[in-house]
Structure 1
Amino acid sequence: MSETESLESWIERQYPLAVTNMLRSISATGVTKPRPGFGQTVVPVKGSVVASPIPASYDPDPDYFFHWYRDSAVVMDALRLVETEEASAHFCDFVDFSLGLNDLRGGDLVEDKAWREGVAEDFKQFVREDDDLASVVVRGETRVNPDGSLDISRWNRPQYDGIAARILTVLRWVKCRGPFGGLHDDAVSELLDEDIRFVLAHWREPSYDIWEEEKAHHYYTLRIQCAALEEGAAWLAGEGDGEAGHQARAAALEIRGRLDRYWQAEPGYYRSRLTDDGKPTPKDLDIAVILAVIHAGGTSPAHSPADPKVERTLDRLDALFEADYDINRDRPAGRGPALGRYHGDEYYSGGAYYFSTHGAAELCYLRASALRGDDPEAAQRLRARGDAYLETIRAYTPEDGEMSEQFDRRTGEHTSAKHLAWSYAGFISAVEARKRA
């Protein structure tokens, strides 16, 4: 990082690097990912989005060569903000790929045993059992292979935030970039209709959280589902399905009531989850709440950037990670704290995440926009707070612009997945929110 370069100049230099690096994960058809232990060679098809385009194998970097529903939605939403010639083509491919997943049947893998013969003996413990495969609901999967095949590895399922996030992404593309012409407009309508009905059918069920670690009722999942059903209700009505639109609106209203229960007045933050026994957990204070609000969007008084309780939640997260991370102590003036996920995180370095710190900056910019007319002084303070987070990002981003998943809580060194697409998407979204603020 240049000591004399301004934040504005750095953002201007980093932005195209982030766009270029994010695009590496979209339709990464030129990359081959061998998984010899699973007897697989994966070659992505158009429309898929890999979480990281680096074909690692926990050597030591994790294998993120999968199409996660949530990550892909976040990346495609950021692509909508970018002026590139291929953006609309990528979106249409993404819709086609998403619809093509409807043809996946876990039962086909149960009937065809030949693929199991290719799994190495020491990898069989990581492979899904037949009863798991037989019960596959494709939209309830956490992720699929970017070649359009089912993920055969044992993983925490179901996860219900990804399809809701996809609804929001597709609706935003329709609003800002559509129509897409002929068959692709039909494909968009088909995907939206099926996704909205899926969320409507499953939102009451517990699922695994955004980190794929704990099954419960999660703030992130519910907030994204609420936004998807609110926006989806208007779309359904516009398509002439008033009854389904009414059901979606009613469900969204019920979810909003449930979200209010996540507020903890005494500690002063929104809990990230409610377990069956209702008892607090170490993960209650979680950056997932901030990510939920910025991904859901909206301007309502509650559960949006306009909600002062969300800013109070961010205040608590700042204090948590200032105490937890060595890199946050004695930092220079003008830098905000680097943020992670939750207290006690042990994944890789358990350190700061690029997308967490980007998310904090984006919330500040979105909240500044919401308050600009009524409280310009608060808006100015929030913009400065957002810039402080980006100054920290700048400090831990090398000259070549690479953003991994984490940077170490003690040393600031990059850890976990390299070139994480979500890291670049989070930067792009934060910078675009900064422009509007």
Structure 2
Amino acid sequence: MRGTGFAPADTERLDAAITDLTGVLADDDHWDAAGNHLISMIGDTQPGYEPNISSVMAAVYGALEVTDTRVLATVAGLRAAWTDGANAYPVNAADAALGLGPMFGRFPGDTYDGDDNDSGTGHPWALCTANVAEVHYDLAAAVASTGKVPIDARSRPFFDQLGIDATTTIADVAAILCDAGDRMLGALIRHSDHLELSEQFDAVTGYEKSVRNLTWSYAAYLSAVRARRRALSTPLPT
């Protein structure tokens, strides 16, 4: 192979792998009913490893649907972890006062900060926050196009956090979801260094830290912006 091209056999193996993984993720072996969130890794993990942002990323990169209520439940669990309680990022409280955020990290028990592996403190990541914003935009598009809101016992905490219930109109649901995504991207812009994006933001000060100009941060942000355009251009059912 040369460049970015794939030989037919490689493409077939990739398609098969995606199919297999999608089937595995669809299995409730990856669901924690007590915690109301997806499980990213079966087996022993470090404390606070679940819920994990990688389960939400699965909806961004194609393994799960954004309308999967398990995904939405996991988003709600992560949002609660980083806005309330022992793992809350102080910067999220400051941003909330400005109508921005929240920003998301990798998992509540994360201790990697990119500068000092032994810091004992995790921080919000640009790419994680952008991915969660994209889930909101993609869900807004799905709701607008189908006229259906995926509310059930699992996803209710997600919609409760946004003030959405069974009486909210489809147009308002789509608008609220887009606004939620905008607030997250707004936090990224506020804390960026003149629109440059590093890997992480300090959980207290909001200043950028760790790897500078991380490509994945930019890619995730731009992907979210494209999802926003799709959501805003999706016609509501008549």
Under TM normalisation by the shorter chain, which class is it? 0.7 to 0.9
Change (3 A) 1:253 1:294: closer
Question: Which of 1 and 2 has higher RCO (CA within 8 Å, sep 6+)?
Answer: 2
For the pair 1:327 / 2:143, whether they are aligned, the reply is no
For the pair 1:397 / 2:165, whether they are aligned, the reply is no
Runs of 4+ in 1 over 3 A off after TM superposition: 251-254
Note the C-alpha offset of 1:326: 1.3
Match of 1:420 among 205, 214, 219: 214
For the pair 1:353 / 2:117, whether they are aligned, the reply is no
Match of 1:283 among 37, 49, 52: 49
The share of aligned pairs that are identical, in percent, is: 28
Note the C-alpha offset of 1:371: 0.6
Say what the alpha-carbon RMSD is for the aligned residues. 2.3
Q: Equivalents in 2 of 1:196, 1:318: separation in Å?
A: 37
Note the C-alpha offset of 1:398: 2.3
Q: Equivalents in 1 of 2:21, 2:123: separation in Å?
A: 35
Change (3 A) 1:380 1:195: same
For the pair 1:371 / 2:143, whether they are aligned, the reply is yes
Change (3 A) 1:194 1:432: same
Q: What SS class does the counterpart of residue 80 from structure 2 fall into? A: helix
Deviations 1:329-381 (A, max 9, x none): 24324212111101221212621100000001000000100111313332221
TM-score (norm 2): 0.74
**What does residue 293 of structure 1 align with?**
59
Note the C-alpha offset of 1:197: 2.4
**What does residue 234 of structure 2 align with?**
none
Change (3 A) 1:431 1:419: same
Q: Equivalents in 1 of 2:99, 2:178: separation in Å?
A: 12
Q: Equivalents in 2 of 1:402, 1:367: separation in Å?
A: 27
**What does residue 33 of structure 2 align with?**
265
Note the C-alpha offset of 1:291: 1.0
Note the C-alpha offset of 1:308: 2.4
**What does residue 436 of structure 1 align with?**
230
Q: What SS class does the counterpart of residue 266 from structure 1 fall into? A: coil
In the alignment, structure 2 segments of 5+ residues that lack a partner are 115-121, 148-169, 232-238
Q: Which structure would you say has the larger Rg? A: 1
In the alignment, structure 1 segments of 5+ residues that lack a partner are 1-94, 99-186, 201-224, 230-250, 298-302
Match of 1:304 among 48, 55, 65: 65
Note the C-alpha offset of 1:322: 1.5
Q: Equivalents in 1 of 2:113, 2:59: separation in Å?
A: 26
Relative to structure 2, which stretch is displaced further, 409-418 or 371-380? 371-380
